[in-house]
Structure 1
Amino acid sequence: MSLDLLVVAAAVATLALVALAILAPTDRARALALVGSVVLVVSVAQNSAPSMLRNGAYVLGIAVLVLAELRSSRRARGSAPLVAAIAGWWGLVLLVVALTQSYNVSALLLQAAFVLTMVWSISRATSIDLSWLVTSVLVLAAAQTVLGVAEVFGGVEPVWGYRGGLERENPFQTDLVRAQGTMGHPIVLGYLEGLAVVLAWANPFRLRQAVRLPLLGAAVVGVVLSGTRSAVLVAAIAITAHIVLRLDAFRLLRGLFLLLAAAVLVAVLDFGLTQLALDTIDSGSWVHRLGSLQAVPNLLGREGWELWWGSGYGSERELFSRGYIVLTYGLPVVDNFFVYLLGTTGIVGLALTLAILVFAFLRGQRYIKAAVIYVTGMFFSFDTTVWFSSGVLMFVVLAIAASHQGGGEAGRQVVRRGRRDARGVRGGVTPTPVEHREVAEQPQTVETVPAH
């Protein structure tokens, strides 16, 4: 696709999103802004995309989200501590980068501003807003699958080209090339598709089966076309956790027994999953990732500032050159996000990340717990936030845990914006818990005017 055509498409998208943010009904403004922002991320916020388009997408996303929040007639009271912890994570990364000059400060600041604006908006989202957001992820994953089919079977070159000029072989079918859609790399496409598989399976907003099953099937096909074995395995683990978390103590034990029996059955009859795991372990990518894990003692052996605060976000090449991480296959890439964080943000950054993940898991509803497990499991596969779109998707999951409905805290109110001089609000609503009944908003009177 030519750059001129991309610029024209970006201009049209800008006008469309601004028009939606200005003209949309006030009770749908946030939902449309969130959907539009996710579309921007999946479409152009890629490492391989021209920086002009990527940065333009961030600026546009921030503007639309802020405008939508100003116009939105409803908001929910989510978890301020989790939002603050995420903001603290970005503050830590930016502070160390500013001190070490390990990364372009202005570029990282723009990325952080977009992510934090989106996190803030999601934390205020109502059940309807979240249903639109989650559904948009599923629809976008299906659209990426269509692009993947065109790439693999139609010979269409990916929008952003092949990373490094390499057409990567699909491990599921070696005579096929790995798809990447607009995500810029097969593993990033696999990340999106695997997340969509987990969300479509959980179906927190009760999509009709006639809609849900095709979206689930499309996401499964997308994972396979991306050739991302880690996404398949981690999504399977997350779905298993989603099933197990629903059980009470007796049913939990019974479920664990059945899972053990199923594992034995798979091992005995060999439906292909065993071989998938063995092939993954025996692959060159596993050897590369094992090299990253073996760097942990070296990284913990550093002294002073670097041990606690790291060498700076984006300094992985320096870690390789200084011998902290062994170079395999000539790739100075840390394909393990835990190791990446330990190296670049130190013990403090890694500990803060783990705290955020645990907090989000404990607070989130069952579908969010499964999504957090997926996000965490994929840390072992690649450096999540170094790839812009996967990093944003990760924080979207964490932000949903920070929202009222994602956290599932009963009794928190969703309030309608009143007149500035009013002393009461006559149109507040309280959303029903997402996982226990159909999503709806029921009128209720509240006593105080929310601060906006």
Structure 2
Amino acid sequence: MPRTPSAKITLAATVGVILALTAIPVLRLTGADTALRLPILAAIALVTIVTVVKDRGTTLRPGVIVALGMFIVSGSIANLRANDSYQWLTLAAFAGIAIAGLVLGASVRAHGVERPVFRWVIGVAAAQSLYAIYEVVSGAEPLWRGANIRRDGESIRLQSTLIDGFERAQGTLGHPLVLAALALIAVSMIVATDAVAKAHYRVALIVLLAGGIVASGSRNAVLVLIALVLVTWGASTWGAMAARGLFFGVPLALIGLALSEDRIRELLDSGSFTHRAGAIAVVPRLSDVRGFLSMAFGDGSASTPRLLNAGLLQSDRFLAIDNQFLLLFIQYGLAGLVLICGLIFAAIQRDAGAVRLMLVVWIAQFFIFDVLAWPSSAILLWLCVGLAYSRRAPSQDNESVEDRAVERAYA
């Protein structure tokens, strides 16, 4: 039975949004390239509206819409109390990408086209990984803009700490960590679903994606990749994955407890450990200087540079926070942190299938970089959340029976 016209529109809309945001880092553009920003964001908004109209509404649970509306109100209160450059654009992009991902994810589930969407994501990640390997080998100049933005506005590529003498690849995504995140979520789709059916294709794709992660130079992503493959490969139940996690995790935790922080830093041999560990010290520092309203609603969508210059955040050479939980607390306060994390963790609890694993992988990356600050990563996360919150069972087209089997994979 062929797909319905509505299912085809949903598939085309979802794939189109993913391709646009992974090809062009809309919030990372400079100079003449900034002319692309608003048309792309406007096109995504139009696609979202068309999807809602043709579906005659959305299959999202009402509570999700209410929570997102409360977040927008909370973020607006924070911005009204601030006066930072691009704060309203940042909030609009955050909310717009979230709405688009949720609506499209719910529509994808409603029409039972999860598998082709997963295949497109895997294909995009494989292409980015292949180009990333080429970047490292050839020394090609970064596309769009280099990942390291200096205080004077100049951008350069980061040096790799995994491969001495080479620079870190970033593909078309604007930053190596975003490239690594895309590859990781594609690996989770390969191991948790039957989007790629044949074992030798699965192995070949994982090897290619692993190559892209190594080319990105992210040690943390490499660790997540190893954990993901060890815990999930061949496991058919959550119980089996939990047992594997304990088998590998407990000894590592004991080793970590036995080592001092200085020794861990020495082993990792990277300023990124100090940077991310420094995020823990930021919370009490902000709590001491913030008033009630700032604690509740945050300092604004674009407040990070201001707070960095004031010495209230990490005091190192990095301009990013690299901890999504902390970034939400900084920008949107306790209200924003609770609303966004509540939506995501409730989605993890709701979905007993492959989407749960994908969301767990995203949460792991909250400790690596600012996931929701990058539209290409945020759209994929919110797509997963939308899949979990869709109220309608898959429609009876040619994908529905097979895709329901995918969702039962880890039930």
- Alignment TM-score, normalising by the size of structure 1: 0.74
Q: Is the 8 A contact 1:145 1:181 kept in 2?
A: yes
Residue 113 of structure 1, aligned match among 83, 87, 96: 96
Identity of aligned residues (%): 23
Say yes or no: does 1:303 pair with 2:283.
no
Residue 348 of structure 2 aligns to a residue whose secondary structure is helix
Q: Higher Cα Rg: structure 1 or 2?
A: 1
**Deviation of residue 217 (structure 1)?**
2.2
Say yes or no: does 1:28 pair with 2:8.
yes
Counterpart residue number, 1:285: 272
Residue 17 of structure 2, aligned match among 28, 31, 37: 37
Q: For 1:26-425, list aligned pairs within 5 A.
A: 26-49=6-29, 50-71=33-54, 77-102=59-84, 103-106=86-89, 108-110=91-93, 112-126=95-109, 128-163=112-147, 164=149, 165-205=155-195, 207-239=197-229, 242=232, 246-248=237-239, 255=244, 258-259=247-248, 281-301=268-288, 302-329=290-317, 331-403=318-390, 412-414=392-394
Distance in 1, matches of 2:48 and 2:331, equals 30
Distance in 2, matches of 1:376 and 1:436, equals 22
**Deviation of residue 238 (structure 1)?**
4.6
Q: Is the 8 A contact 2:71 2:336 kept in 1?
A: yes
Q: AA paired with 2:123? A: V
**Deviation of residue 253 (structure 1)?**
7.8
Aligned CA distance change for structure 1 residues 212 and 93 (closer, same or farther; 3 Å): farther
Aligned CA distance change for structure 1 residues 217 and 231 (closer, same or farther; 3 Å): same
**Deviation of residue 90 (structure 1)?**
3.9
Which runs of 5 or more structure 1 residues have no equivalent in the other structure? Answer: 1-23, 268-276, 405-411, 418-428, 438-452
Aligned CA distance change for structure 1 residues 70 and 308 (closer, same or farther; 3 Å): closer
Distance in 1, matches of 2:217 and 2:93, equals 32
**Deviation of residue 43 (structure 1)?**
0.5
**Deviation of residue 306 (structure 1)?**
0.7
Distance in 2, matches of 1:254 and 1:184, equals 37
Which runs of 5 or more structure 2 residues have no equivalent in the other structure? Answer: 150-154, 257-263
Distance in 1, matches of 2:189 and 2:131, equals 21
**Deviation of residue 300 (structure 1)?**
2.3
Distance in 1, matches of 2:344 and 2:201, equals 31
Distance in 2, matches of 1:234 and 1:392, equals 20
Q: Is the 8 A contact 1:197 1:216 kept in 2?
A: yes
Q: Is the 8 A contact 1:27 1:72 kept in 2?
A: no
Deviations along 1:135-162, one digit per CA (max 9) or x if unpaired, are: 1111100110121122111232222142
Aligned CA distance change for structure 1 residues 228 and 46 (closer, same or farther; 3 Å): farther
Q: AA paired with 1:129? A: V
Name which structure has the greater RCO, CA cutoff 8 Å, separation 6+.
2
**Deviation of residue 392 (structure 1)?**
2.4
Distance in 1, matches of 2:324 and 2:97, equals 21
Aligned CA distance change for structure 1 residues 372 and 280 (closer, same or farther; 3 Å): farther
Q: AA paired with 1:159? A: L
Which deviates more from structure 2 when the two are superposed, residues 170-179 or residues 314-323? 314-323
Distance in 2, matches of 1:254 and 1:310, equals 40
Q: AA paired with 1:212? A: R
Deviations along 1:260-302, one digit per CA (max 9) or x if unpaired, are: 68869x99xxxxxxxxx86674411111222222111112232
Residue 434 of structure 1, aligned match among 364, 388, 406: 406
